[in-house]
Amino acid sequence: MAADAVLVTEAGPGVRLLTLNRPDVRNAMTEELTLAWNTAVDRVAADRDTRVIVVTGAGSSFCSGADLSWLDQGAVEDVTIDRLRDRMLPFYRSWLRPRELSVPVIAAVNGPTIGAGVCLALACDLRFASSAALFSTPFIHRGTHGGMGATWLLPEAIGMSRAREMLYTGREVHPDEALGWGLVTGVADDVLQHSLEVAAHISEAGPIALRLTKTGLEQAAAGLEAAIQWEALAQPVTMTTADLHEGIEAFRQGRKPRFLGR
């Protein structure tokens, strides 16, 4: 595994930048990139100073999706439904890890993102697009079913009707339309700089409250009762922290709080 396939940068206090760094293949999800991605995510997840993560692509593309060239390279007996499934599930779970991380993840979509690359962007909490970005899920026009949670992530983000259109037609959705649909959170000329600025602002929040809020949003998918049951536990947790007292004192003094995560 090449160490430079995914670059990890400390972009500011509490902000970690992960850059998919295989522009020669438009940051396709090769086996090499997947291994490097897992290593990079492990690294930032283990760093207790990480409060927000930004993901972007090197070169002109964000991510061109899964690299399935290995289908033509293996022995025929290896290409069975069971063996393919055993390979697909860990591959999906690797790239969907932003959903499982305890801190917010921002996708700075700097260029085209295709197929499973769209799912990676959708696995992030926030998505910002450059004017050069586009989104397409042409799975069935390549002769395959969608993967990596496409049939769940797309309806969650943009509704079932638009998800059907993207999956059935595979057409390119450009930034302004993506913004109108809710596929992205915003559009910016310098999308990486904008994403890092948003990340810096989020990183100033109370880290305990921030992590619990991300978990709470996942809990809320089960409905209102699940949400209030979670909040009735999580809010008292934050009320017992030193950060709460710092937040109140900073508000009274008209200054920015200095949260320490305790």
Task: Specify the pLDDT at position 80.
Answer: 83
**Which pLDDT belongs to residue 82?**
85
Identify the H or E element spanning 22: none
Tell me the residue range of the domain where 183 lies.
Answer: 6-203
- Is residue 175 in a domain? yes
Q: What confidence category does residue 197 fall into, taking pLDDT thresholds of 50, 70 and 90?
A: very high
Judged against a pLDDT cut of 90, whether residue 71 lies above it is answered with: no
241 in a structural domain: yes
Residue-wise pLDDT tens digits, 21-49: 999 999 999 999 999 999 999 999 999 99
Which amino acid, residue 214?
K
Asked whether residue 73 carries a pLDDT value surpassing 70, the answer given is no
pLDDT, position 79: 77
The verdict on residue 164 lying in a domain is: yes
User: Domain check: are 174 and 212 in the same one?
Assistant: no
pLDDT digits (tens, 9 = 90+) for 203-258: 999 999 999 999 999 989 899 999 999 999 999 999 999 999 899 998 999 998 99
Q: In terms of domains, do 133 and 227 share one? A: no
Give the amino acid at 180.
G
Q: Is the pLDDT of residue 75 over 70?
A: no
Residue 37 shares a structural domain with residue 149: yes
> For residue 132, is it within any domain?
yes
Q: Would you state the pLDDT for residue 14?
A: 96
Q: Same domain for 36 and 99?
A: yes
First to last CA, the chain: 37
CB 92 within 8 A of CB 36: no
Buried b (16+ CB within 10 A) or exposed e, 117-141: bbbbbbbbbbbbbbebbbbbbbbee
Q: Is residue 258 part of a domain?
A: no
Q: Do 156 and 229 share a domain, yes or no?
A: no
CA distance 259 to 163: 40
pLDDT at 74 over 70: no
Domain boundary residue, one of 164, 186, 203:
203
CA distance 210 to 197: 17
> 186 and 94: one domain?
yes
Q: Is residue 39 part of a domain?
A: yes
Statement to judge: residues 171 and 216 lie in one domain? no
- Is residue 67's pLDDT more than 70? yes
How many angstroms separate the Cα of 67 from the Cα of each of 20, 94, 140, 257?
14, 14, 16, 45
pLDDT at 1 over 60: no
Same domain, 184 and 215: no
190 and 237 housed in the same domain? no
Q: If residue 52 lies in a helix (H) or strand (E), which one and from where to where? A: strand 52-57
Residue 259 covered by a domain = no
Q: Answer yes or no: do 190 and 220 share one domain.
A: no
Q: Is the dihedral of CA 56, 58, 62, 65 positive or negative?
A: negative
SS3 67: coil
Boundary residue ending a domain (181, 203, 225)? 203
Residue 255's Cβ-count burial label (10 Å; 0-12, 13-18, 19+) is exposed
What whole-number distance in Å separates Cα of residue 237 and Cα of residue 241? 7
In total, how many domains does the chain have?
2
49 and 123, same structural domain? yes
The answer to whether 242 and 260 have CB atoms below 8 angstroms apart is: yes
Q: 91-142 pLDDT, tens per residue? A: 999 999 999 999 999 999 999 999 999 999 999 999 999 999 999 999 999 9
124 plus 27 within the same structural domain:
yes
Whether residue 260 is contained in a domain is answered as no
pLDDT, one tens digit per residue, over 128-179 is: 999 999 999 999 999 999 999 999 999 999 999 999 999 999 999 999 999 9
**Which CATH number fits the domain that encloses residue 157?**
3.90.226.10
